[in-house]
Amino acid sequence: DAGVIQSPRHEVTEMGQEVTLRCKPISGHNSLFWYRQTMMRGLELLIYFNNNVPIDDSGMPEDRFSAKMPNASFSTLKIQPSEPRDSAVYFCASSFRTGGADTEAFFGQGTRLTVV
Amino acid sequence: GESVGLHLPTLSVQEGDNSIINCAYSNSASDYFIWYKQESGKGPQFIIDIRSNMDKRQGQRVTVLLNKTVKHLSLQIAATQPGDSAVYFCAESPRNQGGKLIFGQGTELSVKP
């Protein structure tokens, strides 16, 4: 398996533009997580899905952020409009959860977003 | 203006020595714990995990110890190598929260040859 695949790897955009980050989880995994990493705040959980359903989005900073998971093999994180303070590395991770038992989450390589 | 970032704890060890990285977790309801390694420009990589019904687990060159009484987790790396240089994160997963992982701030391990 190729692991969790994120695209793009790097994104530079102007303030006010819409940004869409993409994630393909590991095949067979049923949980998907979006994290943001900055020097100021470390690794923060933004939202996670279980069986394509959003379970907890309390980490989403504000309404400018939205995430979808239309099927088991694809998820997007959208920022509209983007602001310079959104600059960060965004990670997607996936795991397999069965019978209430959690397992390790595997991370993608991340998308480095720069908003100028 | 000048930005202020997290000042990660740093551990510097000599190649061949053993390393111990410590972590305090916050939620007494957490029942699953993971150590991740993150190299520059890459995503966190799984090292070892432990469930709350255990207090020790060993892998290849790594051992995780869990003390639930004081909510403390440690990662021991035997015979540390230059390739072990990275930032190490502990993560806790609270029970019945869908596998949600809460990360600590991380510790930077620097291995001197």
B98:A56 CB<8 A? yes
A56:B100 CB<8 A? yes
Beta strands in B1-113 (DSSP E): 10-14, 19-24, 30-38, 45-51, 56-58, 62-67, 72-77, 86-94, 102-103, 107-112
Mutation site for A-interface testing, chosen from B33, B46, B105 by largest number of A Cβ within 10 Å: B46
A39:B89 CB<8 A? no
**pLDDT tens digits, B88-111:** 999 999 887 777 889 998 999 999
Beta strands in B28-85 (DSSP E): 30-38, 45-51, 56-58, 62-67, 72-77
- In chain A, which residue's Cα lies nearest the Cα of B3? A40
- In chain A, which residue's Cα lies nearest the Cα of B32? A102
Residue B5 CA to residue A114 CA, distance in Å, equals: 17
List the structure tokens of B81. 């190598």
**Mean pLDDT over all residues of chain B?**
91
Per-residue confidence (pLDDT) for residue B62, from 0 to 100: 98
B43:A40 CB<8 A? no
A91:B43 CB<8 A? yes
Of A39, A41, A48, the CB nearest to B100: A48
Mutation site for B-interface testing, chosen from A21, A60, A89, A104 by largest number of B Cβ within 10 Å: A104
**pLDDT tens digits, A2-57:** 899 999 999 999 999 999 999 999 999 999 999 999 988 899 999 999 999 999 99
CA distance B103 to chain A (A): 6
Per-residue confidence (pLDDT) for residue A33, from 0 to 100: 96
Residue the block writes with tokens 């977790």: B25
